Amino acid sequence: MAHHEHAAEHAHHDEKPAGIMRWLTTTNHKDIGTMYLVFSLAMFLIGGLMALVIRAELFQPGLQFVDPGFFNQMTTMHALVMVFGAVMPATVGLANWMIPMQIGAPDMALPRMNLFSFWLLFFAFMLLLSTLFLPGGAPAAGWTLYPPLVLQTGDAFPVAVFAVHLMGASSIMGSINVIVTIMNMRAPGMTLLKMPLFSWSWLITAYLLIAVMPVLAGGVTMLLTDHFFATSFFNPAGGGDPVLFQHIFWFFGHPEVYIMILPAFGIVSEIVQTFSRKPIFGYEAMVYAIASIAFLSFIVWAHHMFTVGMPLAGQMFFTLSTMLIAIPTGVKVFNWTATLWRGSISFEPPMLFAIAFLFLFTIGGFSGLMLAIAPADFQYHDTYFVVAHFHYVLVPGAVFAIMAAVYYWLPKWTGHMYDMKLANIHFWMSTIFVNVLFFPQHFLGLAGMPRRIPDYATQFSDWNMVSSIGAFGFGLSQLLFVYIILKAAKGGAKATAGVWEHPADFPAGLEWTVPSPAPYHTFETAPEVK
Amino acid sequence: MSTAVDPREDPALRRRNIRLAIVLGIVAVAVYVTFFLVKGMGGE
């Protein structure tokens, strides 16, 4: 009798509204994960179009297509859209899909708040994008929103500040959900140190988010009150200090970089071990390395501000603390390499992207070390060298890891294998073009080309042309990515539960124990982890 | 705490989830307020 009641209840739980109502009202972690991923893909394409406007303008010297004001709006909006609309929501989407399945939980701990977080983010971005059509245009002071420049923004200013608040609230609620899910809802036997590294990386990321998103919100609230309520947080005429905003922004901004890259570390760890057919080398060291990087991210912020002026002791402190980050990062790169050592390696698309990540993210890491040296930074600051540095960290770093994750888990989501041949083509095109796009920017920066300008001296022409060709090639390659995903969603060879080969003694997540595609509800009865 | 039962069927787990969420929410609000207080103490 009890069994029948339970079965009826189970059937009830399996019911889902059809059509648009399913997506508007769902509290299912897989649906919400899908919505985050689709949203982030759309933002990736919109932010990419903005990047192409920038690169089209910079294809040759002189003003070609857009006026300088609009160019500045594009650099600002491209960054805001890519950071808050593409990379972060993509990792949140992956977290929604995978964390409950990896740890054996039936859903996220707070499903209604989960749905609210998504729609808050969606609304925030509709607001932010709408500023392009307001008098005065979108914010154009750079994503760092430095005063007093940002206070010259037109009608878009309060709208953008409100949008940043909404994004922050959404991220904080999403992080609370991740922490509560992992701390309270792991399957019996799934101890913290048995958790897959993707879940671990997200647990630490979630704590980082709760610690720093309110700082950004505080900073932009102060901007708002300075603008509309005659306060003087950043106004020297009233006893304020514009440099204070830079401290507040980068106290948020540097950990924000790790918020984008730590989940990528988790993804790469999972993929490297799967396709090396060996458990990750130094699992616990990997966890401690992620935690160390997260901690250090709080004490390095002023390396973004060396040229503003600070005492020598400050320069030395922030140089050395920044260099310390190379130690746990080095541990991770060493452990990924050691995992590959004598592994039975195969090069499916997720592994290709993960290997590219190892090489190309490390280039971004090394140029970061160059920028950490205060006297050298006086030369590099505000040049294209900085643009090359952070794009190496974020594109073949974070974005490649997200693409690797999509190729790794797509068969689990759709139940179909995707077109491997096309995915390989997508990988090679992306990898070649991303280097054509960003590597020459190192040369431009070292030669002294400043960032955030729509025109430049003719001596910079050649490498700018090469960089723009790379940008259009990279952009076009991503249409292939969209096609591969749509094709796999529609059909294809059936995927097995394991999808990839996992040796029996493998510390893989529980997602590989459920069928592909993953049923709408998983782990309603707790699995036992040995 | 490892339980992995559905919070819809376990009020104790549900309470624990909400309690932890509230604590984390308070931490986030406290960080936000702290930045104003620090500026207030150090300002003119």
Q: In this predicted model, what pLDDT tens digit does every residue of A128-155 receive, in sequence order?
A: 999 999 999 999 999 999 999 999 999 9
Chain B positions with Cβ closer than 8 Å to A: 1-7, 13, 16-18, 20-21, 24-25, 27-29, 31-32, 35-36, 39, 43-44
The half-sphere exposure of A116 on its side-chain side, counting CA atoms within 13 A, is: 12
Kindly tell me if the per-residue pLDDT of A14 is higher than 90. no
The model's pLDDT over A302-354, given as tens digits with 9 standing for 90+, comes to 999 999 999 999 999 999 999 999 999 999 999 999 999 999 999 999 999 99
Tokens of A445: 């920066």
Single-letter amino acid, residue A497: A
| Cβ-Cβ contacts under 8 Å, B17 against chain A | 109-110, 180, 184-185
**Nearest Cα residue in chain B from A174:** B21
Sequence-distant (≥ 6) Cβ neighbours of residue A231 within 8 angstroms: A222, A225, A238, A240
pLDDT score of A509: 84
Q: For residues B7 and B13, what is the distance between their CA atoms, to the nearest angstrom?
A: 6
Percent pLDDT > 90 in chain A is 89
| Cβ-Cβ contacts under 8 Å, A526 against chain B | 3-5
Question: Does residue A227 carry a catalytic annotation?
Answer: no
Q: Would you place residue A503 in the very low, low, confident or very high pLDDT band (cuts 50, 70, 90)?
A: low
- Sort A39 into a burial class: Cβ within 10 Å, 0-12 / 13-18 / 19+: buried
Distance, CA of A97 to chain centre: 16
pLDDT score of A151: 93
Single-letter amino acid, residue B36: F
Q: Is the torsion defined by CA of A89, A95, A97, A98 positive or negative?
A: positive
Identify the residue whose tokens are 């893989």. A508
Please report the number of interchain residue pairs, chain A to chain B, with beta-carbon separation below 8 angstroms: 94
Kindly tell me if the per-residue pLDDT of A86 is higher than 60. yes
Kindly tell me if the per-residue pLDDT of B2 is higher than 90. no
**A528 vs A65, residue with greater confidence:** A65
| Cβ-Cβ contacts under 8 Å, A186 against chain B | 2-4
Candidates B9, B17, B27, B44: best to mutate against A (most CBs of A within 10 A) is B17
Identify the CA nearest to A39 among candidates A230, A232, A222, A170: A170
- Sort A310 into a burial class: Cβ within 10 Å, 0-12 / 13-18 / 19+: middle
Task: Name the average pLDDT for chain A.
Answer: 94
What do you get for the CA distance between the two ends of chain B, in Å? Answer: 48
Candidates B35, B38, B44: best to mutate against A (most CBs of A within 10 A) is B35
Please check whether residue A434 is in contact with residue A396, taking contact to mean a CB–CB distance below 8 angstroms.
yes
Q: For residues A483 and A111, what is the distance between their CA atoms, to the nearest angstrom?
A: 31
When pLDDT is averaged across residues A206-212 and rounded to a whole number, the result is: 97
The model's pLDDT over A349-408, given as tens digits with 9 standing for 90+, comes to 999 999 999 999 999 999 999 999 999 999 999 999 999 999 999 999 999 999 999 999
Q: DSSP for A79-141?
A: HHIIIIIIIHHHHHHHHHHHHHHHHT-SS-S-HHHHHHHHHHHHHHHHHHHHGGGSTT-S--S
| Cβ-Cβ contacts under 8 Å, B16 against chain A | 184
pLDDT score of B4: 54
Q: For residues A417 and A490, what is the distance between their CA atoms, to the nearest angstrom?
A: 11
The model's pLDDT over A413-427, given as tens digits with 9 standing for 90+, comes to 999 999 999 999 999
Taking the Cβ of residue A169 and every Cβ of chain B, the question of whether any pair is shorter than 8 Å is answered with: no
| Cβ-Cβ contacts under 8 Å, A221 against chain B | 36
Question: Does residue A502 carry a catalytic annotation?
Answer: no
Q: Is the peptide bond before A517 cis (omega within 30 degrees of 0)?
A: yes
Marked catalytic residue, from A29, A165, A278, A332:
A332
Quote the minimal CA–CA distance from B41 to chain A in Å. Answer: 12
Q: For residues A30 and A96, what is the distance between their CA atoms, to the nearest angstrom?
A: 7
Marked catalytic residue, from A451, A452, A487, A502:
A451
* Number of CB atoms found within 10 A of residue A22's CB: 12
Identify the residue whose tokens are 């020459």. A440
pLDDT score of A360: 97
Q: Helix axis angle, A68-80 relative to A111-130, nearest 10°?
A: 170
Please check whether residue A177 is in contact with residue A241, taking contact to mean a CB–CB distance below 8 angstroms.
no
Quote the minimal CA–CA distance from A2 to chain B in Å. Answer: 14
Alpha helices in A420-503 (DSSP H): 420-446, 461-490
Phi, psi of A416 (to 5 degrees): -120, 145
Identify the CA nearest to A131 among candidates A109, A150, A104: A150
**Nearest Cα residue in chain B from A109:** B17
DSSP A394: I
Phi, psi of A94 (to 5 degrees): -65, -40
Please check whether residue A287 is in contact with residue A334, taking contact to mean a CB–CB distance below 8 angstroms.
no
Q: Mean pLDDT check: name the lowest of A16-25, A205-214, A435-444.
A: A16-25
| Cβ-Cβ contacts under 8 Å, B25 against chain A | 172, 176
**Nearest Cα residue in chain A from B33:** A218
Kindly tell me if the per-residue pLDDT of A11 is higher than 70. no
Identify the residue whose tokens are 């179009």. A49
Please check whether residue A153 is in contact with residue A131, taking contact to mean a CB–CB distance below 8 angstroms.
no
Q: For residues A499 and A415, what is the distance between their CA atoms, to the nearest angstrom?
A: 9
pTM for the model: 0.94
Q: For residues A483 and A254, what is the distance between their CA atoms, to the nearest angstrom?
A: 34
Is B27's CB within 8 Å of A210's CB? yes
Q: For residues A462 and A468, what is the distance between their CA atoms, to the nearest angstrom?
A: 10
When pLDDT is averaged across residues A230-246 and rounded to a whole number, the result is: 91
* Number of CB atoms found within 10 A of residue A133's CB: 9
Taking the Cβ of residue A69 and every Cβ of chain B, the question of whether any pair is shorter than 8 Å is answered with: no
pLDDT score of A2: 37
Identify the CA nearest to A278 among candidates A335, A337, A339, A338: A339
**Nearest Cα residue in chain A from B18:** A110
Rg over CA atoms, chain B? 17
Is A215's CB within 8 Å of B29's CB? no
Is A184's CB within 8 Å of B27's CB? no
Q: How far is CA A178 from CA A161, A166, A378, A409, A519, in A?
A: 26, 18, 40, 19, 21
Q: Would you place residue B10 in the very low, low, confident or very high pLDDT band (cuts 50, 70, 90)?
A: confident
Q: Would you place residue A48 in the very low, low, confident or very high pLDDT band (cuts 50, 70, 90)?
A: very high
pLDDT score of B37: 77
**A19 vs A426, residue with greater confidence:** A426
Q: For residues A29 and A35, what is the distance between their CA atoms, to the nearest angstrom?
A: 10
pLDDT score of A506: 62
Please check whether residue A449 is in contact with residue A384, taking contact to mean a CB–CB distance below 8 angstroms.
yes
Q: For residues A439 and A454, what is the distance between their CA atoms, to the nearest angstrom?
A: 20
Taking the Cβ of residue A453 and every Cβ of chain B, the question of whether any pair is shorter than 8 Å is answered with: no
Kindly tell me if the per-residue pLDDT of B41 is higher than 80. no
Kindly tell me if the per-residue pLDDT of A7 is higher than 80. no
Identify the CA nearest to A358 among candidates A396, A406, A324: A396
pLDDT score of A3: 38
Tokens of A258: 């790790």
pLDDT score of A288: 97
Taking the Cβ of residue A41 and every Cβ of chain B, the question of whether any pair is shorter than 8 Å is answered with: no
